[in-house]
Structure 1
Amino acid sequence: MAQPVETLDDVLRILGEHEDHAHRTLNMVPSENAMSGLAKLPLLLDCYHRYFFNEGDQAERWHFRGAQRLRDLEMGLTVPLLEELGRARYVSVRPLSGLNAMTLALATLGGEPGSTVVTISPDNGGHYATPSVARRLGLRIEFLRGLDPHTLDFDHAADLLRRVRPALVYVDQSHCLFPVDVARLVATVRAASPETLVHVDASHWFGLVLAGVFPNPLDEGADSFGGSTHKTFPGPQKAALLTRDPDIERRIRDTQGYLISSHHFAATISLGMALLEFRDFGGADYAKAVVANTREFGSLLTQRGTTVVAADRGCSAGHQLWLDTEADGVPPREASDRLAQAGIRVNFMAGLPGFAGQGVRIGLNEPTYQGVTLNDLPELADIFTAALRGTTPAARLADRTAQLRRRPRFGATVGAGSPLLRGALELATNALLSEQVNSPNTVPESV
């Protein structure tokens, strides 16, 4: 039962306690990541409150003038960087989240109501929401299926495509250890149903794609791709769609106008800042380290007796690992509780391909961003294994986790005396103070 939170002092206390705990914790939830303090700055400023609709800077379209002086931070920073790193000619930064991007892509590319969309079966990692969203839009759904949880059956795909002639193949791996071979899938689509479009939801792979560690779906022949910007990419909770096709760009622009109003302009600026850091301060090294850390950590856990799915295939090609702790005598929810007490956050969930019940899903994306290296992984594996087995007091393990959390993170290094940091702190402080000074309400002295 929720405890009452009655004052601003209560709010600040809870936030402060969470921050203290977060700085001692390793987050290994694969669908989450951190970003730099600099990139968070726009979320504190006036731009957080503003609409922006005038991408073309047309005088007659400045119906909302609050973002007029900030236009270049979207059109001269975020959009060009996504075009550059995503190897795209056109970008939409309207989507608010991965699921919102999915809705926009299906509404744009899925055809008229009654059309068919082919997507990946949940048994092969397809996103749980795709069928429901598509059906709400009046679309029919058919599934690509696989020979095992990690491999598509391309002969079945060719037969299905020839039979149903879908408007769209929507590639939507959410639970994914090994990515779909997009080039082979596109070739199968072009041969069996040439008019069908292919969109790749790369939410989980986005940072790996932008860094060039994973193949770019557009280079592999997909018509468009996109996804959320806070999984393997260390950015804000937002999303983007990218294409090289001017007709698809026009269709996205026409559709987004009535599906998305405010696109969280401050988060768009945060995304641009995160992209700039990613490009100029080690994003490619970070993405390579994510993959190397994941494979090595899977191997270390296997050596210590934990059942890691697909250990015979190297455990993972990206950032996710799946653990069958039930097979090791520890129910997944209990495993999650034990790890949390040791300062490690993980997913436990049903629906992982190949699992009859629940499993534990972990990611090395945020620990890598927080500075955990290959040299740290034996210690992390020891903490992880001891927590699962309950062989060491949780408080002692939590202290060891906190030591790992103190590593220098990836990204721009901004020293305490840096003019850049001083400027950011001045902006943030002024924003907080000016809002309170101008408020007619009385704020407690402790605030």
Structure 2
Amino acid sequence: MDVPKELEKVIEITREQNKWRRTETINLIASENVMSPLAEAVYMSDFMSRYAEGKPYKRYYQGTKYVDEIETMTMDLINEITPSKYSDLRATSGTIANAAVFRVLANPGDKALITRVQAGAHVSHTKYGTLGALGIEHIEMPFDVDKMNVDVDKAVKMIEEIKPKFVVLGASLFLFPHPTKELADAAHSVNAKLVYDTAHVYGLVVGKVWPNPLEDGADVVTASTHKTFPGPQGGLLVTNDEELYKQVSRTIFPWFVSNHHLHRLPATAVTAIEMKYFGRDYASQIVKNAKALATALVERGFKVIAEHLGFTKSHQIAVDVKNFGGGAKVAKMLENVNIIVNKNLLPYDLPEAVNDPSGIRIGVQEMTRYGMKEGEMEEIAELMKQTVEGKNPEEIKRKVLELRSKFLDVKYTFNVDLKSSKTIPLII
């Protein structure tokens, strides 16, 4: 039988995606990363076809002895590198991890305090997402635009007055660590819990360049496994509170997850091992690159947020591009030359400006993993400047392709011959 045209099209689209995003673009999306070839090799395994409802050694299916082993090992690795006492990897995304925690901590009609939507609160923190789905009232904490952070004094006062069931820290636009200790102390004084969503910065926590929220009083930390932590898409949670851990674990399954996409487990384990041995160097270079890119953009006339604070302490920078036509226009202009960013609300935008905000958000973690350093950040800034000035896009794209062609191999991983290794279960 001839190959169906539909099948040819599927293969063609997939090849084009791989070629474009992996070899031809400078990806600066702050919520993405790339796995190592080693992690991808174990991701493509028989685990992807199997089910394992429940927890290790307490399953509702047979045939899970190796699932139990890899899941337990991965949990131990996560606890080691965080560090934490308890972890759960069954949430298939950071949003699902948040949902399970929120469901345990509050009932419909209860109150939760979150960071402002324009200041980066993830949709899962809000009435537009998980809080709304659970019927929990969303109340925004005061935000200090000058400090690009939660206003500590006003937030503490609000916690004491409102007495929420929980407070959420962490964000999608996330330049500086939130004031965990102060707000955890305030939350605990009214018998509330503090949840810290490290989806964007978990790799920086593991790499010891960002504070571990558990050490500053957070009751539970949720995370994604595919942003600064460069693993497969998925979620996790960690805590040192045994009783809270038990309650949330009983809630993930069966409330929010049945089978938890088992092929994530070996790939997450490989990534955890990579971060154990290379995480500090990787995370440190991420922050250096973010600061270098911010500085280079300012030198070229861009308005980078929080210059007076050193721009950032994370993988992200935020740029006000209103003078160049706004976030939507600039993001599209950059995509046309193969530089990928996203439009983003800035703290002083109105929520209604979500489709055409003042800003763009830039993350350097993926290009850092491909080996780019401060010098390449200078080149990227120059290419961005030429783009917003309306220079020839085809010429700029040629320069982007030339730069990217020098950075095609993933770094901060182990040099393993995947074809000859007898220990890697390849299915390719």
Q: State the TM-score, normalized to the length of structure 1.
A: 0.87
RMSD: 2.1
Q: Of the two, which has the highest radius of gyration?
A: 1
Instruction: Say if 2:67 is the partner of 1:70.
Output: yes
SS of match in other structure, 1:410: coil
Question: Which residue does the alignment assign to 2:18?
Answer: 19
SS of match in other structure, 2:360: strand
Please say if residues 235 and 270 of structure 1, whose CA atoms lie closer than 8 Å, have aligned partners that are also in contact: yes
Question: Which residue does the alignment assign to 2:327?
Answer: 332
Paired residue type of 1:174: S
Structure 1 counterpart of 2:150, from 142, 149, 152: 152
Question: Which residue does the alignment assign to 1:221?
Answer: 217
Offset at residue 182 of structure 1 (A): 0.9
Offset at residue 202 of structure 1 (A): 0.8
The change in CA–CA distance for 1:388 and 1:413 in structure 2 (over 3 A counts) is farther
Question: Identity of paired residues, percent?
Answer: 26
Question: Which residue does the alignment assign to 1:436?
Answer: none
Distance 2:326 2:60 in 1: 56
Structure 1 counterpart of 2:164, from 163, 166, 186: 166
Distance 2:59 2:181 in 1: 43
Report Cα offsets for 1:221-278 as digits up to 9, x if no partner.
1111121111111111101000011101111111112221111111122111111112
Instruction: Say if 2:309 is the partner of 1:313.
Output: yes
Please say if residues 176 and 320 of structure 1, whose CA atoms lie closer than 8 Å, have aligned partners that are also in contact: yes
Offset at residue 42 of structure 1 (A): 3.5
Paired residue type of 1:410: K
Offset at residue 62 of structure 1 (A): 4.8
Question: Which residue does the alignment assign to 2:188?
Answer: 190
The change in CA–CA distance for 1:424 and 1:142 in structure 2 (over 3 A counts) is farther
Question: Which residue does the alignment assign to 2:107?
Answer: 112
Question: Which residue does the alignment assign to 2:34?
Answer: 34
Paired residue type of 2:167: V
The change in CA–CA distance for 1:10 and 1:32 in structure 2 (over 3 A counts) is same
Task: Report how many residues are paired.
Answer: 412
Distance 1:136 1:89 in 2: 30
Please say if residues 53 and 253 of structure 2, whose CA atoms lie closer than 8 Å, have aligned partners that are also in contact: no
Instruction: Say if 2:39 is the partner of 1:44.
Output: no
Structure 1 counterpart of 2:125, from 127, 130, 143: 130
Instruction: Say if 2:261 is the partner of 1:264.
Output: yes
Report Cα offsets for 1:196-228 as digits up to 9, x if no partner.
111101111110001111110010111111211
SS of match in other structure, 2:213: coil
Question: Which residue does the alignment assign to 1:437?
Answer: none
Paired residue type of 2:238: L
Unmatched runs of 5 consecutive residues or more in structure 1: 433-447
Question: Which residue does the alignment assign to 1:441?
Answer: none
Paired residue type of 2:11: L
Structure 2 counterpart of 1:139, from 128, 136, 143: 136
Unmatched runs of 5 consecutive residues or more in structure 2: none
Please say if residues 30 and 315 of structure 2, whose CA atoms lie closer than 8 Å, have aligned partners that are also in contact: yes
Question: Which residue does the alignment assign to 1:389?
Answer: 389
SS of match in other structure, 1:322: strand
Please say if residues 173 and 179 of structure 1, whose CA atoms lie closer than 8 Å, have aligned partners that are also in contact: no
Please say if residues 175 and 353 of structure 1, whose CA atoms lie closer than 8 Å, have aligned partners that are also in contact: no
Offset at residue 108 of structure 1 (A): 1.7
Question: Which residue does the alignment assign to 1:402?
Answer: 401
